[in-house]
Amino acid sequence: MTISGGQVLFKSFSPEGAVRWTWSAQGFGGGSPAVTGPLASFLRGYQLGGGYTPGPLLAFATLAGLAGTLSLARRHATPTQRHAAQACLLMFTTAAAVLLVSDAFEFSWRYQLPALITLPPAAALALTALFTHRREGPGEPPVTAPVPGSQTDMAAHAVPRPAGHGGGQGHGRGQELPQARDRTPAS
DSSP states of 113-146 as a string? HHHHHHHHHHHHHHHHHHHPPP-S-TTPPPP-PP
Last residue of a domain, one of 89, 110, 131: 131
Band of the pLDDT at 148, cuts 50, 70, 90? low
Last residue of a domain, one of 131, 150, 169: 131
Q: Indicate if 126 and 59 belong to the same structural domain.
A: yes
What pLDDT does 105 receive? 85
| CA 186 vs CA 42, 182, 183: distances in Å | 67, 11, 9
The reply to whether 82 falls in a domain is: yes
| Boundary of a domain, candidates 89, 113, 131 | 131
The overall pTM is greater than 0.85: no
Q: What residues make up the domain containing 87?
A: 55-131
25 and 69 share one domain: no
Instruction: Tell me: pLDDT of 178 over 70.
Output: no
Q: Is residue 157 part of a domain?
A: no
Evaluate whether residue 22 is within a structural domain. yes
Question: Is residue 121 domain-shared with residue 88, that is, in the same domain?
Answer: yes
pLDDT at 30 over 90: no
Helices (H), 9-78: 37-48, 55-70
Residue type, 76: H
Domain shared by 61 and 101, yes or no:
yes
Mean pLDDT over 75-102 rounds to 91
Do 63 and 22 fall into the same domain? no
Give tens-digit pLDDT for 44-59. 888 887 777 778 988 9
Residues 19 and 75 in one domain: no
On whether both 115 and 75 belong to a single domain, the answer is yes
- Name the domain count of the chain: 2
Query: Residue 74 falls within a domain, yes or no?
Result: yes
